[in-house]
Amino acid sequence: MNKYIIFLVTLLLLFPTSWSQEIEIAISEEALDFSAIKSKYIDVNFVLEIPILIEEYKDGDYFILKTPIFSDNQKTQRTNVEAYYLEGDKKIFANIIEDDYGNLIAEFSVKPITRFEYTFYISGNIVSENKIVFSNNIFNLNNKITEFEEYTKETKYIKSDSLETITLANSLKYFDNSLEQLTFMTNWVHQYLTYDLEYAETIEDSLVVLSTRKGVCDEFSILLAALLRAQGFPVKYVTGIANTSFNWENHAWLEVYIPEQGWIPVDPTYNEVGLVDSSHIIIAKVNDPSQSQDLITASNSVVISFLNKKPSYKINEQKSFADLGYANVITITPIHQDKLKSGSGINLKLSLKNTTVKPISILLNLEHHADFELLYPKSSKQLIYFNEFESKEINYYFIAPKIPANVHGYIYPFRISSQISDVETQITVSNDSSFYQDIFFVTDPLFYFVNNNIVIETDLINETNTKKKIDFNFDYNGNILTKTVEIDPKERKTFQQEISLLDRNESNFKISISGDFEYSRLIKIYADKIVPEEIIDANVSTVVSNKQIDDQNKELWENSEEFKITQPTKLNKTVLFVFMLFLVLGIVGYLVTNIKKIKH
């Protein structure tokens, strides 16, 4: 009997994968709860507490606090607000005034100071609704926007007149369609910057943001405002409160003016244009972040500190875009390989269509399990512009997880969410699936000035098992510079080159990439700007449309496919099943025989 059990265990160890199952793995709990951005209408009661600490004061001292409050002179919201502080049980109401920008300001006058702590309350009811519908009368950016010129000027934090900003803004001008360019720029800033909570307590100007490539909502909005103003768009800086699906927080975003469209809400942190969700509750709209801050004036001997504001909210009613008739505006069809080999690359395509007669900008968020690594684009959130009835295709590139050798496979779900609809799909990753693909990428180069140099910057991603080599050739008015970059297997790096400019009076600059990637582009250099020409296909020496580097990457991706068929045949599975069946029957027969012997 003991020998038989040992023999059975040995056989089972020889076939570990035959006992493993395909296991469904849920999307990571860290994936964003996407419900907040689906909100088109919200009715909410709120209380905002503003605590103030008086560190030093003398008898007879005073202070005056001015703070912007939620106002009802907005297209998208109605409010019923009161502002007060308490003296015992008595409410002392603020004086409500209006500033130069039309914002409502609560003015609290505390005369005299009688204690070391004060709490000021802004409370009431807000009804907020997104009412933005784009017009088909699209403003062409070959014309100048002449309205609201005061919102196109450089300010303290929004450095739109700097050479770095102007040259970068010009290099990112891809579309004459003002709505499409606005959508592209918002998505670009969202991809370019890294969200970093270390910046939560500070505000940096746009040049600092451009150099660090990090920030929170203030920095995202400040950089986008600078680039848009440099491109001729009037831009307002907006402060308020927004719901992140987890809680309500102080937030900053923008409004951008386009003729025939009016002022359009734009949030580069959430990556929304037009369809900015109704949880964005407006407090103030200003020309610069410095104009939206609380202001205190006080006696000379008074020392005051601001403590953290404490918002609390109760939602009375909320309606989604789908609830209010947007459910079928966009159709989403995922296209991908259903089964992948462990560790393979994958190109997940989304086929999209605007089913309406109006232009629209839609935010798509691809929620996925943390085991899948997103390589390109940098963010799973993509903001896409559609003309009326337009169809588009976008691409995401992932590395599939490497699963344990003794596991047959895992089933991973993917959810594609937008403001108006969701679609789900799934991909099986296993050790014996049929599809495997390598990955190599070059991102679209950026061009901008720093001092008297032109800077070229691009990202290189090599997730193959072979070393890649790229030759960068720079031709500046006939002066040739060549740089060769090698990218090791599984390596990612950013290539940056500075070239000193001898003459910025309408000179030519051409960049060509050869080797394992082919790309060429001509730009015109002027004293105060860079003007990109159309991208040139180096292989056929003809001009092609802008942003074709994405197609180059797509072609490179498709040419690098490796199909490795290692899936077990049906015959092998049948033989294995028959073997296991006879094994089980043998065990049962052996046990029955021994039981009969014992009974005798």
Which pLDDT does position 504 carry in this prediction? 65
Of 478, 64, 528, nearest to 296 (Cα)?
Answer: 64
In the chain, pLDDT over 70 holds for what percent of residues? 80
pLDDT for 7 beyond 70: no
Query: What DSSP assignment string belongs to 172-190?
Result: T---SBHHHHHHHHHHHHH
Taken in order 151, 153, 159, 164, the sign of the CA dihedral is positive
pLDDT band at 581 (very low <50, low <70, confident <90, very high): low
Query: How many Cβ atoms from other residues are within 10 Å of residue 117's Cβ?
Result: 9
pLDDT band at 479 (very low <50, low <70, confident <90, very high): confident
- Once rounded to an integer, what is the mean pLDDT over residues 341-348? 89
Scored b (16 or more CB within 10 A) or e, 419-454 reads bbbebebebbbbbebebbbbbbbbbbbbbbbeeeeb
User: In whole angstroms, what is the distance from residue 490 CA to residue 499 CA?
Assistant: 29
pLDDT for 109 beyond 60: yes
DSSP 548: T
Backbone Cα Rg of the chain: 30
β-sheet with 345-354: strand ranges across: 330-335, 345-354, 391-399, 373-376
Which pLDDT does position 555 carry in this prediction? 54
- Once rounded to an integer, what is the mean pLDDT over residues 514-519? 87
Tell me the pLDDT of the chain averaged across its residues.
83
Q: Is the peptide bond before 68 cis (omega within 30 degrees of 0)?
A: no
Copy the structure tokens of residue 518.
Answer: 């082919």
Which pLDDT does position 421 carry in this prediction? 86
Task: Please indicate whether residue 539 or residue 577 has the higher confidence score (pLDDT).
Answer: 577
User: In whole angstroms, what is the distance from residue 186 CA to residue 169 CA?
Assistant: 12
Lowest mean pLDDT among 234-248, 409-423, 541-555: 541-555
Find the DSSP H helices in 203-343: 206-212, 217-230
pLDDT band at 571 (very low <50, low <70, confident <90, very high): very low
- Once rounded to an integer, what is the mean pLDDT over residues 358-387? 91
Which pLDDT does position 541 carry in this prediction? 28
pLDDT for 435 beyond 80: yes
Q: Which amino acid is present at 39?
A: S
Lowest mean pLDDT among 198-202, 297-301, 338-342, 536-540: 536-540
pLDDT tens per residue, range 443-457 = 878 877 777 788 888
User: In whole angstroms, what is the distance from residue 234 CA to residue 564 CA?
Assistant: 54
pLDDT tens per residue, range 110-138 = 999 999 999 999 999 999 999 899 999 99
pLDDT for 513 beyond 80: yes
Which pLDDT does position 94 carry in this prediction? 96
Of 384, 383, 361, 379, nearest to 192 (Cα)?
Answer: 379
Q: Is 582 exposed, middle or buried (0-12, 13-18, 19+ CB in 10 A)?
A: exposed
Task: Please indicate whether residue 147 or residue 440 has the higher confidence score (pLDDT).
Answer: 147
pLDDT for 419 beyond 80: yes
Name the 3-class secondary structure at 292: helix
pLDDT for 300 beyond 70: yes
Which pLDDT does position 80 carry in this prediction? 92
Copy the structure tokens of residue 38.
Answer: 């689906």
Which pLDDT does position 459 carry in this prediction? 87
Lowest mean pLDDT among 44-48, 112-116, 439-443, 532-536: 532-536
pLDDT for 8 beyond 80: no
Label the pairing between strands 422-430 and 339-341.
Answer: parallel
pLDDT band at 352 (very low <50, low <70, confident <90, very high): very high
Which pLDDT does position 594 carry in this prediction? 58
β-sheet with 530-537: strand ranges across: 479-487, 468-476, 507-515, 519-525, 530-537, 542-543
- Once rounded to an integer, what is the mean pLDDT over residues 466-476? 91
Q: Is 395 exposed, middle or buried (0-12, 13-18, 19+ CB in 10 A)?
A: middle
pLDDT band at 414 (very low <50, low <70, confident <90, very high): very high
pLDDT tens per residue, range 142-182 = 999 999 999 999 999 999 999 889 988 988 888 999 999 99
Name the 3-class secondary structure at 240: strand
Which pLDDT does position 239 carry in this prediction? 94
Which pLDDT does position 507 carry in this prediction? 78
Of 48, 49, 70, nearest to 119 (Cα)?
Answer: 49
- Phi, psi angles (nearest 5°) of residue 560: -95, 5
Task: Please indicate whether residue 391 or residue 510 has the higher confidence score (pLDDT).
Answer: 391
pLDDT for 84 beyond 60: yes
- Distance of alpha carbon 371 from its chain centroid, rounded? 19
pLDDT band at 560 (very low <50, low <70, confident <90, very high): very low
Name the 3-class secondary structure at 314: strand
- Once rounded to an integer, what is the mean pLDDT over residues 535-555? 42
Residues 367, 397: contact at Cβ < 8 Å? no
Residues 352, 445: contact at Cβ < 8 Å? no
Distance between start and end Cα atoms, the chain: 18
